[in-house]
Chains A and B, each alone.
Chain A
């Protein structure tokens, strides 16, 4: 059966390209070549922002883990160390949460756009 199948499927007709095919491809290539290059994402400039975002996220995770590990009885009596208190106060006063949220949203929308654009090609 394999031989018969091989024979049938191998025998498929060959088609010859239409006369204008090369010109049509070259027109598309020239158009592509003359189009302005897409602006690359400024990874180097964004790096400090991403680093800051990472630190904030790490702090949030540490805070959540610490709170979860703390026995309920001590929860109300617990007072943060002055260093943590200072950090929390600074973060709260400078709206860091909102900034982190905005950065996260930007990152997500960027990843989504890249995926969409990549899928189209």
Chain B
């Protein structure tokens, strides 16, 4: 993401707004990876992630004129995409296992000695997606932005304090539901 040039974004946006539609391809090429991966973190389904990212690019194209250049293009783009992904998940929720079911499943598995770390990690990520939407969104975007609270707050269009509170609450829920799972490595180290 760091290699992406803000100047290239600005040039392409201005060209698209001037009627040069093929210039939008530059934007798609530069941002397809981040937008698909952000969608994937929300839905954990590759096909659906691409569909959601395509819709996000379309929405970006439609509202390109509303980008006020006081914020970086990427900030605005991520906010547009995050907003779309959240409403898409509200419209068509994930066929997720309930948080309690994940906890129950992992409790059973943890009784076996050959409990795989990979399975545990997958279960924790599933549990993040099974959180109530406001905590899930904060957590997904926080980790997507490499644990950068201000960036997550900008994508969610929320104050940083609210995002911090939601992250705290989301973690508390996970801690309550998956205690064995999240403490396993500590026990091994001890």
Point out residues on A near B: beta carbons under 8 Å.
1-2, 4-6, 8-12, 14-18, 21-22, 24-26, 28-30, 32-33, 121
Contacts and interface: CB of A to CB of B under 8 A. Distances in A.
Nearest to B49: A15
A83 B103 CA distance: 76
Q: Is the interface of B mostly helix, strand, loop or mixed?
A: helix
Contact of B146 (A10, A21, A28): A10
Interface in B43-98: 46, 49-50, 53-54, 57-59, 61-62
Nearest to B174: A5
B163 interface: no
B110 interface: no
Given A11-B121, A15-B37, A28 B128 contact: no
A24 B125 contact: no
Interface residues of B, number: 38
Most buried by B among A2, A9, A14: A9
B178 to A, nearest CB: 9
A29 B61 contact: yes
Contacts of A12: 40-41, 125, 143
A49 B97 CA distance: 54
Contact of B40 (A10, A15, A18): A15
Contacts of A17: 32-33, 36, 50, 53
